[in-house]
Amino acid sequence: QVQPVESGGGLVQAGDSLRLSCVASGRTFSNYAMGWFRQAPGKEREFVAAISWNNGNTYYADSVKGRATISRDNAKNTVDLQMNSLKPEDTAAYYCAAAYRKTNGWDGRYDFWGQGTQVTVSS
């Protein structure tokens, strides 16, 4: 098992950039796909980005494509989300999640979740 812990959120202005970080405890971090999700008040949790555990493939929601970059460092047990050109609609609590050794046919469910870090983008 791994326990993700997020950091890097804050209050920024539209057009600014943020780098969110997630560190996950455990010896098997490299066996987990890692994802970033966000949830704004009154809205459902939304997928933002993910990175595969086995081949480094990355995936992005259309809402952040071109503005977000997800990366991981298995030696440090970290996954980052670089977000540029932030918009007010990016305001949300951002969560880091881990999914153990998922392959073809995965239902998209994650096994472990962090507590979240708040990102607020003012207009």
- pLDDT tens column, 48-64: 999 999 889 999 999 99
Beta strands in the chain (DSSP E): 3-7, 10-13, 18-25, 32-39, 46-51, 58-60, 68-73, 78-83, 92-100, 112-113, 117-122
CA distance 69 to 30: 19
Give residue-wise pLDDT tens across range 22-52: 999 888 899 999 999 999 999 999 999 999 9
Q: What pLDDT score does 1 carry?
A: 85
